[in-house]
Structure 1
Amino acid sequence: MRRFLAIVPLALLAACGGTPAPDATSTPSVLVSLTQAKRGSAPDYVTAYGSATPATNGTQTLSTAQAGQVSRLAVTPGASVRAGQALVVFATDPSAVSAFQQADTALAAARKQRASTAQLLTQQLATRDQLVQAEKAVADAQASLAALRRQGAGQPERTLTAPFDGIVTAVPVAQGDRTQPGAPLVTVARSGGIVATVGVDPADSARVRIGQAARIVRLSGGAAIAGHVIRVDSLLNPKTRLVDVDLAFPAGALLTNEALRGDIAVAEVAGWLVPHRAVVTANGPAHIFQIVGGKAHSVPVKLLLSGETTDVIAGALDPRVRVIVDGAFQVDDGAAVRWAGR
């Protein structure tokens, strides 16, 4: 019985002339989306990568001209500070304080010697040359004392303060460290003095100019930030072998050391504007597809500029005919297509 039931459908199929024929009226087609090509222009970008760093003229490193010891650190790297805010308390080396005291004593002695010489001159017991030498000794002692005072030698302890509103970018010392004259103690970057420094390929550096618009994008994500070029180096960075370019941006938009990408608009390219997805570049010259009589019609084009979302092309496009966007890579010339609403 089972064999009989299995044979009956096959027999019926054979009696009907074999396998069912496809519907001759159905036409295979690809579902596509369409848009209209427009005349216009788009910026040509030079793309470079780098990070947010203090501008070369936007930082100040504080130090002392005397040896001494860091008594107290009032800030840490990354701290926001106001002008006049205490940063470091520094104890001047005792030998420097002693030198100041000796200079002060030497000035007092020189003044006393000058007064004595002047009195002897009135009694004709000293010469005018001796008075000149005494006055010179006073002037020398005054100059030495003033220099030591400017260097802070007269202050056993001094407080270094922020020269302007900004951010502490470096504190290369620790509390209790003994330092030599001129050793850096703290570096402050001016508020708004942070720039985006990117490395441009030397082949593209000639196209970059001060004042050109730029967009800055965090590598960690987020919206693009508007900026512009404020500095272009004329030599290679010895570490990266690229040309450093500084981009200005609104204050507070980026944090120091953030990794970023800079897109610098070096020119405007004019032509037909179409979505990037509409331009087919695989398997031969670039082309697009326009809809003619419900079918895809291939139009050769020249790709003038390739962008993330929009391309600029040149070619014999019919501005009255729509262009295939989604599905452009799935159709062939003359293939039937369908789209929403049809």
Structure 2
Amino acid sequence: MNPVHLVIPVMLALFPAAQAAQETPSVSVEVTTAMPQQHDFAEMVNGYGSVETDPRATFAVSLPLAGQVTQLMVVTGQTVASGQPLLVFTADPAGRLVFEQAQADLKLTRAALAQTQALYAQHLATQGQLDATRKALADAEANVATQQALGSGRSRIEIKAPIAGVVETIAVATGQRVAAATSLLQLAPAQQRLVRVGVEPGDAARLKVGQAAALVPAFGGATFAGKLLQTGQAVNAQTRLVDVLVSMPADAPLPLGSVVQAQIESAHIQAWAVPRGAVLSDAQGAYLFQIDHDVAHRVDVKLVQPKGDSVGVLGPLKAALPVVVLGSHELADGMAVRVKTP
């Protein structure tokens, strides 16, 4: 058989396949894109805590007298005004005796001064004796005034709030007998509150006094601005977290004990700002796609600001190449794409 006759059928058989290959369109995915931009982002340390009174402003109410609590007029958590009665206290009889003795000493000292003055007028007492008697009188008057201020002269003492605030704790009960200088209750100024926040030990080293914080009520409500007041150096044995203190606005309507999330700005960093929908994740971590000549290329990134519609990422992005926003879930590295026109 003529070899030429064999070549012609083979060529005719291959021609339709080659033509079909030329007519088959290449596979591509339609996507929408956005341009990445450099932006300043805050690195955040997050933690949860609760509103409590500022321990530096707590006021302890006590009496320098022994006695018995006969009536409690407030309860824990109650808001009180300055001068509002808190409790009624009955002083021990011994305190009354001390006051009566001070009064008796004052009466005798006054009589002694009058006698010394008369003798001095007759030149029967010296100037030194007169001065000593006057000094004794001044001491006796001061002692009586002190006992009156302490309440020794009264058997029934109504203790009033020295400041406006909130009753934080009550350490006594009605009928209880207490020693002198015993703390009866504690008041905290209503406007001086803070948030005690627990943070992970690994994050605590990144915190510094003065850093800004956003306070978000756990059960909804407006966000408040605060600042880091104190950083902790030890792990709380109960929570296994490090406690830090964050200030809060005086007018924030958050009662004591309210649960709050604190977002503390630990540092600022320059990162790429991209739409949230552009960032994907798999077993290797976060990534996105950039388009170069209608081909998608995977770029591994690290999230530094995962909140908001625009998120911050670190990675080898190219400023001139757009990132895929919609359609990225269908892509693989090196796949052809078609950019959807507006």
Q: Which TM bucket (shorter chain)?
A: 0.7 to 0.9
1:299 aligns with 2:298: yes
Shift of 1:146: 2.3
Shift of 1:96: 0.8
| 2:223 matched residue in structure 1 | 225
The within-5 A match list for 1:227-242 is 227-233=225-231, 235-236=233-234, 239=237, 242=242
Separation in 2 of the partners of 1:34 and 1:72? 74
Gap regions ≥5 residues in structure 2: 1-22
| 1:321 matched residue in structure 2 | 322
Separation in 1 of the partners of 2:285 and 2:232? 38
| 1:10 matched residue in structure 2 | none
Identity of aligned residues (%): 29
Separation in 2 of the partners of 1:182 and 1:111? 32
Shift of 1:335: 4.9
Classify the secondary structure of the residue corresponding to 1:265.
strand
What is the TM-score when the length of structure 1 is the normalising length? Answer: 0.77
| 2:166 matched residue in structure 1 | 167
The within-5 A match list for 1:132-151 is 132-151=131-150
**Which stretch shows the higher mean deviation, 172-181 or 156-165?**
156-165
Paired AA for residue 267 in structure 2: A
Classify the secondary structure of the residue corresponding to 1:107.
helix
What is the TM-score when the length of structure 2 is the normalising length? Answer: 0.77
Paired AA for residue 185 in structure 2: V
Classify the secondary structure of the residue corresponding to 2:63.
coil
Task: Tell me the alpha carbon deviations over residues 65-101 of structure 1, each in whole angstroms, 9 at most, x when there is no partner.
Answer: 1112222222111112222222222222222122112
Shift of 1:51: 1.8
| 2:79 matched residue in structure 1 | 80
Shift of 1:289: 1.9
The within-5 A match list for 1:1-342 is 36-126=35-125, 128-201=127-200, 203-219=202-218, 221-223=219-221, 225-233=223-231, 235-236=233-234, 239=237, 242=242, 244-276=244-276, 278-284=278-284, 286-290=286-290, 297-303=296-302, 305-309=304-308, 310-317=311-318, 321-324=322-325, 328=328, 331-335=331-335
Q: RMSD between aligned alpha carbons?
A: 3.5
Separation in 1 of the partners of 2:93 and 2:104? 16
Task: Tell me the alpha carbon deviations over residues 115-157 of structure 1, each in whole angstroms, 9 at most, x when there is no partner.
Answer: 1233234345555554444334323322322222222212322
Q: For the Cα contact (< 8 Å) 1:304–1:314, is it kept in 2?
A: no
**Which stretch shows the higher mean deviation, 67-76 or 281-290?**
281-290
Shift of 1:249: 2.9
Classify the secondary structure of the residue corresponding to 2:181.
coil
Classify the secondary structure of the residue corresponding to 1:236.
coil
For residues 97 and 195 of structure 1, do their structure 2 counterparts lie closer, same or farther at Cα, with a shift above 3 Å needed?
same
Q: For the Cα contact (< 8 Å) 1:273–1:313, is it kept in 2?
A: no
For residues 338 and 71 of structure 1, do their structure 2 counterparts lie closer, same or farther at Cα, with a shift above 3 Å needed?
farther
Classify the secondary structure of the residue corresponding to 1:256.
coil
Task: Tell me the alpha carbon deviations over residues 258-305 of structure 1, each in whole angstroms, 9 at most, x when there is no partner.
Answer: 23331111222222112455334423364212456877x133244261
Task: Tell me the alpha carbon deviations over residues 217-274 of structure 1, each in whole angstroms, 9 at most, x when there is no partner.
Answer: 234x314622222522474367567353332234233221223331111222222112
Separation in 2 of the partners of 1:105 and 1:339? 103
Separation in 2 of the partners of 1:32 and 1:88? 74
Classify the secondary structure of the residue corresponding to 2:263.
strand
Separation in 2 of the partners of 1:32 and 1:180? 80
Separation in 2 of the partners of 1:148 and 1:237? 47
Task: Tell me the alpha carbon deviations over residues 139-195 of structure 1, each in whole angstroms, 9 at most, x when there is no partner.
Answer: 332232222222221232222222333221111212222221121222221122010
Separation in 2 of the partners of 1:336 and 1:58? 66
Separation in 1 of the partners of 2:271 and 2:140? 78
Task: Tell me the alpha carbon deviations over residues 187-207 of structure 1, each in whole angstroms, 9 at most, x when there is no partner.
Answer: 221122010122445654454
Separation in 2 of the partners of 1:237 and 1:121? 74
Separation in 1 of the partners of 2:181 and 2:26? 85
Separation in 2 of the partners of 1:288 and 1:69? 73
Paired AA for residue 222 in structure 1: G
Q: For the Cα contact (< 8 Å) 1:100–1:154, is it kept in 2?
A: yes
Classify the secondary structure of the residue corresponding to 1:185.
strand
Separation in 1 of the partners of 2:50 and 2:312? 28
Separation in 1 of the partners of 2:27 and 2:71? 81
Gap regions ≥5 residues in structure 1: 1-23
Separation in 2 of the partners of 1:156 and 1:31? 90
For residues 339 and 153 of structure 1, do their structure 2 counterparts lie closer, same or farther at Cα, with a shift above 3 Å needed?
farther
Shift of 1:107: 0.6
